[in-house]
């Protein structure tokens, strides 16, 4: 029988010029994601002029994903959600009740910092991109916007009813909308988004935001700005009404009186 015995080897001291290894728990991984994915966007135009015959338009947003993983890209596991958010305003929501055969405003709720418009474009169905908790954490989507009332001490059930009514009214007017498939990848890293501008889109500074998701996890965000202004005669009136409110009100009253007087002359019965 052959027996192999391990002979003890005398311990040797490490040369002084070699550094000692750190414990395994303190060693850093050999590969690190030093270049995480980033998203960049640019608008086809940063200024839109609205005239009296404006009946809506489409806004095109171009973007790119930097430092992407080619394997993840080939698998189609990158998703982009693009949002165009209108300037915030204070909004009063009223509820009408039937009293003695007439519909009368009986209750109201005031909300602050409500986006005047909110358009969303996605690469796929929202539920296929990430989970509901991620949308809520990012305040992404009309249903996840932080629409806060002035009176926070009110009945939560009533506040939620008015909040939902506000969303419904905005959606009916085309100001809150979603376009599934509105974001399209033109190559592995380049994409294009198309967002609708409603005929009643408000003037002011709108914020465009793009969210990048990888395998359902939020990675990066980028933003840009769009200015919407009235043009022509409408812009002149709008500017005058804002800069000279009292004179504008006086002229509007005089015009209404003059119009009524002329109408009386035209339709007077002898």
Tokens of 138: 């990012």
Residue 268 domain flag: no
Structural domain of residue 43, as residue ranges? 35-88+115-147+156-241
Per DSSP, what are the bridge partners of residue 94? 108
Higher pLDDT, residue 77 or 29: 77
Backbone phi and psi for residue 16, each to the nearest 5 degrees, phi listed first: -65, -25
CATH number of the CATH domain containing 80: 2.60.40.3880
Tokens of 172: 């009916």
Indicate if the alpha-carbon torsion angle 153, 154, 155, 156 is positive or negative: negative
Tokens of 174: 């085309």
| pLDDT single digits (tens) 1-15 | 333 333 444 444 444
Indicate if the alpha-carbon torsion angle 159, 162, 167, 168 is positive or negative: positive
| pLDDT single digits (tens) 151-175 | 888 888 889 999 999 999 999 999 9
Per DSSP, what are the bridge partners of residue 62? 42, 192
Question: Is 204 in contact with 225 (CB distance < 8 Å)?
Answer: no
Q: What angle do CA 187, 191, 195 make, to 5 degrees?
A: 150
| pLDDT single digits (tens) 236-252 | 777 778 788 888 888 88
Domain count for the chain: 1
Cα distance between residue 235 and residue 250, in whole Å? 19
Q: Is the pTM of this model over 0.85?
A: no
Q: What is the DSSP letter of 154?
A: S
| pLDDT single digits (tens) 191-220 | 999 999 998 899 999 999 999 999 999 999
Question: Is 195 in contact with 119 (CB distance < 8 Å)?
Answer: yes
Residue 9 domain flag: no
Residue 95 domain flag: no
Rounded mean pLDDT, 214-238: 87
């Amino acid at each position: 029988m052959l027996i192999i015995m391990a002979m003890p080897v005398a311990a040797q001291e490490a040369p002084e010029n070699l550094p000692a290894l750190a414990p395994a728990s303190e060693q850093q991984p050999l590969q690190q994601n030093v270049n995480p994915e980033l998203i960049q966007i640019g608008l086809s135009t940063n200024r839109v002029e609205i005239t009296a015959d404006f009946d809506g338009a489409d806004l095109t947003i171009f973007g790119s994903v930097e430092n992407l993983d080619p394997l993840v890209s080939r698998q189609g596991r990158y998703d982009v959600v693009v949002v165009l958010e209108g300037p915030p305003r204070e909004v009063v929501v009223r509820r009408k009740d039937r009293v003695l055969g007439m519909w009368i405003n009986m209750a109201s709720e005031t909300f602050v910092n409500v986006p005047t418009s909110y358009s969303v474009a996605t690469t796929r169905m929202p539920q296929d991109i990430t989970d509901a908790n991620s949308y809520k954490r990012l305040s992404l989507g009309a249903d996840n916007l932080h629409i806060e009332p002035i009176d926070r001490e009110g009945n939560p059930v009533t506040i939620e009813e008015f909040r939902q009514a506000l969303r419904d009214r905005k959606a009916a007017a085309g100001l809150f909308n979603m376009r599934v498939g509105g974001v399209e990848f033109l190559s592995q890293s380049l994409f294009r988004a198309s967002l609708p501008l409603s005929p009643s889109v408000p003037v002011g500074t709108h914020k465009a935001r793009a969210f990048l998701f990888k395998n359902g996890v939020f990675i990066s965000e980028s933003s840009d700005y769009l200015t919407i202004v009235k043009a022509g005669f409408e812009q002149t009136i709008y500017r005058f009404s804002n800069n000279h409110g009292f004179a504008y009100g006086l002229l509007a009253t005089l015009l209404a009186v003059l119009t009524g007087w002329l109408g009386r002359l035209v339709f007077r019965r002898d």
